[in-house]
Every structure is written in structure tokens, then in C-alpha cells.
Amino acid sequence: MDDLSLLEHLGEQSARLCEVTRTDSASVMRLLADLLGPAGSTALSEGPSWSSGIADDHTPVEFSVAFNTYGGPSLRILGEALASPAGTTANLAAAYRFIGAQADRFGLTTSRLARVRDLFASPDPNAVFALWFSLVFPPGQQPEFKIYLNPELRGADRAPDLVAEATRRLGVDAAYRAIVERACRSGELGRGDRLSFFALDLHDGPHARIKLYLSQYDAERSDVVHAAGLVDGIDTSELAAFCAVAGGGPGPYSGRPLVSSYTLAPGVAKPIGYSLYVPVRSYVRDDDEARDRVAILLDHFGFDATQLDAVIAAVARRSLHEGPGLIAHASLRLGPPRPGVTVYLSSEAYRAGARSARPVPVS
């Protein structure tokens, strides 16, 4: 068996994903190499150099493909910049170096980040992460960058105050208060309802977003329907149907949490966009079942489900029967800028037995 490096492994998968999504793979490879730094050249057999929270097996990268209502599917990469040696604080410094290196090339805007950066600057040594990236590759366009900051970097109990201050500085605190008062379950903020990510787009186009993620543990489907109902224009029956198909029923969801994200806009008293992320892998027997559920969802929302199999084949190195985990989440994006369904795929670089030189055909 070939012992590929982490970057080679991710490169093979992303090259095939780029074919499906018509993305320039050279640009993807260059960004992956910059992001991973020296960790990119470590052999897979050495195991992960950092216990990244991005994926269950600590691969510091997760792929996703967004099926869009307007336009073709697009590739996205969730990733963590890795320092050598890695650690939450050292990785944060590597993340800022990565931003610095890309800022000129891609004309990134960091003014919003600059206003809150100090709040998210000193993670506890045991914090899961300090800053993650989402790299979005709209076909034929320049990549877009989003960062995720960790509101729980100094403990789950301190996250609400931290987000209150960050949203105040960015002029979106009214929408934050609406989430706390009207979306969260009563008495659960900082307990069962956790503020898991605070995200900023690093551009200043008309769709530049500020997003807040709410992870609800042991939730019923009705809890997320309630949480989504805060946002105007949400079709809550579609949302309920999506949740039931992706998660296999009404709940309670006692495995990984259901996650809601809210788009916040300055001067608007409520969030203006909503997405639901269902951690499918916690609620299926294996990836065959996960694939079938996502295919039903794509079909229901008018997307070409045959593209799903191409996407899975691009990443899979094992049979889907072997167990769950390849399809990590499925999400429903409601409202602008890009409504649609997204499927999240684990690279499984470090999953035992998942490595073979050739991908296993998916039937």
C-alpha cells in the first residue's frame, strides 16, 4: 500500500472533486499546501500531528459540496491551519499568517475581524480550536474565504458574554439578543444550547456575512423548527421534513448535536438567514444509508442526485457498507446568498483501513 503524505491524499480527493464541480484544482492544491504547512508532507502512517476537531479521525480538512438553486454545485473546504509543533495557540498564529499570505492575492477584507480579533485571541490550552477556515470555490470565480472563531475558546460558560460583546462591536447585537431570547431553549444557553462558531466572511461584497452557530444537544426536531422560526420567510415544514429524512426521525437527537446557523446583519433586529446542519453520521447504520437519505433530499429539492454518487466516489476509499462517517453532515441552506443543500464529506485520511491506493467504486 502506498504511504501517501497528508497533502497527497487530500490532493487526490480534491482533484476528483474539482472535476465534478468544475473547479481549478491547482488553486485548491496551492491553498491546501499553504494551510497545512509542514504537516502536509507528513506520511499518513504517522497519524495526525494534531487532534483537529474538524473531523472525527482528526484529519484537519473536511470537504463539502454545495448544491445550489442557482448555478452548479460548488466545492468547499473546511480546514485548520497547522503550526509545527501544533497547539491551539500556535495554530492560531499559523491561521493569521495564512490570512496575511492570502490577503493580497485575493483582496481579502479583514476589517470586521480586526474589530473582534482580541476577543478570540487567548484560547485555553484545551480549547478544541481557535480559528478554522472555510474556502469556497464558486466555479470560474476566485475562492472566497470565511473564518470560524470559537466562542468557547475560554469555556462554554463564557461564550454568551463573548458573543454579546463581539456582536455589539459589529452592530449585530439586536439579532443576537433575539436568538438568545427566542430561539434557544429556556435555561439551556451555555448548557444544552451552545454557541459553537462565530463566522465572518473575509470579503466586503453585498453578501458578506456574519454568522452565529447554535449547537443543540439532545434536541427534538421541534426544537430546531422553533429555533428556525425566528427568521422571517423560513418554510418550517420543509425544514422539519429535511431534518426527519437526514436524521431519521423526530428525535430526540442524543448523538451529535443538531446545529443551526444564523446570518446576522447590522441594524436588523432579527437574523436574516438560516441553515440547519444534521450530523447524519450519528444517526445511520452506515454510509449506504446516509447516501440514500441525502439522495432523497437532493431529489426532493430539485437537484441531480446522480452527482452525489460522483462526489462520494471522489472521496471514498472504502465500501459504504463498512460503517458511517464518510458523510458527516447534510445541511439545508435557506435564504440568500445561495439557497440549497450541502453534503459534508470526511476525507478519512486517518481512518484505520480507509487507505488504499485506489478508490473503491461506489455502486
Rounded to 5 degrees, what angle do the CA atoms 217, 293, 277 make?
35
Residues 6 or more apart whose CB falls under 8 angstroms from that of 22 comprise 72, 139, 140
Stretch that binds ligand TRP, among 9-17, 51-59, 67-75, 82-90 (CB under 6 A): 51-59
Which residue is nearest to ligand TRP, using beta carbons? 277
What cell was used for 177? Answer: 439578543
Window 275 to 314, contacts with ligand TRP (CB under 6 A): 277, 279
Please pick, from the candidates 31, 44, 78, 234, the single residue that binds ligand TRP as defined by CB under 6 A: 78
Nearer to ligand TRP, 110 or 134 (CB): 134
Nearer to ligand TRP, 37 or 279 (CB): 279
Contact 320, 312 (CB under 8 A): yes
Burial status of residue 32 (CB atoms within 10 A of its CB: 0-12, 13-18, 19 or more): buried
Tell me how far, at minimum, the Cβ of 3 lies from ligand TRP, in Å. 25
Tell me how far, at minimum, the Cβ of 129 lies from ligand TRP, in Å. 9
d(CA 15, CA 26): 8
Please pick, from the candidates 18, 55, 163, 284, the single residue that binds ligand TRP as defined by CB under 6 A: 55
Nearer to ligand TRP, 194 or 355 (CB): 194
Burial status of residue 201 (CB atoms within 10 A of its CB: 0-12, 13-18, 19 or more): buried
Asked if 62 interacts with ligand TRP (CB under 6 A), we say: yes
Please pick, from the candidates 76, 112, 221, 329, the single residue that binds ligand TRP as defined by CB under 6 A: 329
C-alpha to C-alpha distances, 209 to 220, 261, 263, 278, nearest whole angstrom:
28, 11, 6, 21
Window 343 to 362, contacts with ligand TRP (CB under 6 A): 344
Written as one string, the DSSP assignment of 344-357 is EEE--TTSTT---S
Burial status of residue 313 (CB atoms within 10 A of its CB: 0-12, 13-18, 19 or more): middle
Nearer to ligand TRP, 98 or 344 (CB): 344
Show the site string, 107-146: x = touches ligand TRP by CB under 6 A, - = not. ----------------------------------------
Written as one string, the DSSP assignment of 188-227 is -BTTTEEEEEEEEESS-STT--EEEEEEETTB-HHHHHHH
Nearer to ligand TRP, 243 or 259 (CB): 259
Nearer to ligand TRP, 160 or 325 (CB): 325
Window 239 to 268, contacts with ligand TRP (CB under 6 A): 256, 259
Nearer to ligand TRP, 48 or 173 (CB): 48
Amino acid making up residue 219: A
Tell me how far, at minimum, the Cβ of 194 lies from ligand TRP, in Å. 11
Nearer to ligand TRP, 221 or 256 (CB): 256
d(CA 208, CA 200): 8
Stretch that binds ligand TRP, among 54-62, 104-112, 221-229, 348-356 (CB under 6 A): 54-62
Residues 6 or more apart whose CB falls under 8 angstroms from that of 114 comprise none
Residues forming the site for ligand TRP (CB under 6 A): 53-55, 62, 78, 256, 259, 277, 279, 329, 344
